[in-house]
Structure 1
Amino acid sequence: MKWNNMLKAAGIAVLLFSVVAYAAPSLKAVQTKTPTVSTHTYKKIKELTYPQVHHIGNAVFEKKINQELEAYIEQSYQEYLKNKKAGEQQGFKTEYQTSFSVKYNAAGKLSIQTLNYIYSGGAHGLTSVQSFNYDLKAQKRVTLDQILNTKTKVSKTRDYLYSYIKKHDELFFPDVKKEDITLNKDTMFYFTANGIAIVFGQYDLGPYAAGIRNVQVPASIYQ
């Protein structure tokens, strides 16, 4: 009887080890799964595309991100309707289109940049840019003032950008002053492998023809 009990115990131990060994790889796979971003069309309007994220690692935070992106496209939809109505009432051709790109998706950080193009008559349309930056480990949205969180960091970054601007006068107005460079919570940026990139929109310190300019700033500048 004692021998039988020992055999049963050994059998149970082997079974438990097999279950754990089988389950462990799948658990690890879930934990290391790379976040993905999918493209969606809002209200079946082909001009209105927006992102949704998946495999963030936290269902609550993933839902929060997607709600913020849905709020963005809803606001864009309202602008689309307003622009369309104005064109119909005043008799001019209108255009409105959204798009996005994943600027960074690595090392627990995610950056999505959205572009909204609007044409309401006139010589040309305008494109506005927004940044959605997330620290997936800390489970929070990140604004520039959280990275440049001291006067010294802001000053060093501004000096770096000013030097860049002076070396690229084809992209920026020649009379830009250092104090014209705004770095706060509303400044658009995205994560890069080596630091961040500051985003200058159309007409931000430069001519329309220069378009949207992204200036990479190494972390060594502000850390």
Structure 2
Amino acid sequence: MKIFLNSVVIFMALFLLFSPSRINDSSPVLVSASTSTIPKITIKNYKNNKNFQYAVISGKEYDAANNQMLKYVASIYKADQKLKLEDSKYAAYSISKVKFNQDNKISISYINAFYQGGAHDDVTMTVFNFYKGNNITLQKAFKNSKAYSEADKYVKSYVLNHPYQYPLANRYTKMYNHQFYWTPKGINIVFDPYELDSFAAGFKYVPVPQIYLKY
């Protein structure tokens, strides 16, 4: 457990302190000038455990969204309990953060870690993206299938043309089946550690401009 906690502390410190400069998303979460149209989002602890967080969005239109996120964090909690039965040193966690809240678009990330021995934990990110209360998948965020395909080519070209930012990128790098979140200029595609860089580098993000997007 000591190894896991140390790994968690180090990774979260890197994520919170250094990731903004790497992801071209250093601006704070934006809200509309009319605060009356912006739903309030509260981060709560599941079962009063700060290692398991979930977001609650105000408004009846977000009831389904809130239920979906609560079930998701509950599944991570159950995974943690199962891991502990295998070995008391094993553990999991899920930390929530509001990434975007503007123009009826909400992105909420969940940083998840699973420790099952070894040098460090396995870290991934899941993002829930809602437009007017509806869950939006990556493909649905685009204008059409052509825009989706063109954006994939854009992402591949972008990472290959920025090797200092994405040293592990290659011609097989794809946008498909990745997480994303909205930004003021479009979306950021999320790549987990080891996909485009080392574990120590944390998550990597590739911007996709608004021109391809439906929302």
Q: TM-score range by the shorter chain?
A: 0.7 to 0.9
Match of 1:17 in 2: none
Matches within 5 A, 1:1-223: 32-54=36-58, 56=59, 59=60, 61-88=61-88, 93-136=89-132, 139-148=133-142, 150-174=144-168, 176-177=170-171, 179-183=172-176, 186-221=177-212
Query: CA shift at 1:173, angstroms?
Result: 4.6
Q: Tell whether the 8 Å contact from 1:94 to 1:119 is kept in structure 2 after alignment.
A: yes
The higher relative CO (CA closer than 8 Å, separation ≥ 6) is in 2
The CA deviation at 1:174 is 4.7
4+ residue segments displaced more than 4 Å: none
Amino acid of the residue matched to residue 147 of structure 2? K
Q: How far does residue 79 in structure 1 lie from its aligned partner after superposition?
A: 0.9
Secondary structure at 2:47's aligned position in 1?
helix
Task: Give the drift of 1:69.
Answer: 1.0
TM-score (norm 2): 0.75
TM-score, normalised by the number of residues in structure 1: 0.72
Offset at residue 45 of structure 1 (A): 2.2
CA contact (8 A) 2:196 2:204 kept: no
Preserved contact between residue 157 and residue 222 of structure 1 (Cα < 8 Å): no
Which structure has the bigger radius of gyration?
1
Q: 1:53 to 1:162 in 2, by over 3 A?
A: same
Contact in 2 for aligned 1:172/1:210 (Cα 8 Å)? no
Residue 115 of structure 1, CA deviation: 0.6
Task: Kindly indicate whether the alpha-carbon contact (under 8 Å) linking 1:201 and 1:213 is maintained by their aligned counterparts in 2.
Answer: yes
Alpha-carbon distance, 1:212 to partner = 0.9
Q: From the two aligned structures, give the one with the greater helix fraction.
A: 1
Question: 1:202 Cα deviation (Å)?
Answer: 2.0
Residue matched to 1:4: none
Percentage of identical aligned residues: 27
Relative to structure 1, the CA distance from residue 106 to residue 190 in structure 2 (aligned partners, 3 Å threshold; closer, same or farther) is same
CA distance in 2, matches of 1:143, 1:175: 24
Query: 3-state SS of the aligned residue for 1:199?
Result: strand
Letter in 1 for 2:182: F
Unaligned runs of 5+ in 2: 1-33
Pick closer, same or farther for the CA change 1:210–1:167 going to 2, 3 Å.
farther
CA separation of 1:169 and 1:209: change in aligned 2, threshold 3 A: farther
What are the Cα deviations for residues 15-49 of structure 1, in whole angstroms up to 9, with x where unaligned?
xxxxxxxxxxxxxxx99342111121111223212
Tell me the C-alpha RMSD between the 2 structures. Answer: 2.3
In structure 1, list runs of 5 or more residues that go unmatched. Answer: 1-29
Does the residue aligned with 1:68 lie in a helix, a strand or coil?
Answer: helix
Q: Match for 2:124: what amino acid?
A: S
> What is the one-letter code of the residue matched to 1:45?
N
